[in-house]
Structure 1
Amino acid sequence: MVETNKDEFRRKCPNLWNEIHGQNSTLKDLKIEEMQIDKFRGHTPNAIDYLRRCERNEEAERTISYLLKKGEITPEYAKKLCRQLKEKGIRSFGPKKEDGYYLKEAGIE
Structure 2
Amino acid sequence: MRMSIDEFKKKYPNLYRELTSDDSMSMTLSVEKPFDDPWRGYIPGPIDYLRRAKTVEEAVRVIDYLLEHNEITEEEAREYKEKLMKEGLEAFGPRKESGYYYRKAVEYWRKKLISGGQRQQQS
Which residue does 1:72 correspond to in 2? 71
Instruction: Give SS of 2:52's match.
Output: coil
Instruction: Give SS of 1:34's match.
Output: coil
In structure 2, how many angstroms separate the alpha carbons of the residues matched to 1:34 and 1:77? 37
Structure (1 or 2) with the greater helix fraction = 1
Q: Please list every run of 5 or more consecutive structure 2 residues that lacks an aligned counterpart in the other structure.
A: 1-25, 110-123
In structure 2, how many angstroms separate the alpha carbons of the residues matched to 1:43 and 1:98? 18
Which residue does 2:35 correspond to in 1? 34
In structure 2, how many angstroms separate the alpha carbons of the residues matched to 1:41 and 1:102? 11
Q: Which amino acid aligns with 2:90?
A: R
Larger radius of gyration, structure 1 or 2?
2
Q: Which aligned pairs between 1:17-28 and structure 2 lie closer than 5 A?
A: none
Instruction: Name the Cα RMSD after superposition.
Output: 2.1
Q: Runs (4+) of structure 1 moved beyond 3 Å?
A: none
Which residue does 1:88 correspond to in 2? 87
- Note the C-alpha offset of 1:88: 0.2
Task: Report the TM-score when normalising by structure 1.
Answer: 0.66
Identity over the aligned pairs, expressed in percent? 45
- Note the C-alpha offset of 1:97: 0.4
Which residue does 2:23 correspond to in 1? none
- Note the C-alpha offset of 1:34: 1.8
Q: Which amino acid aligns with 1:58?
A: E
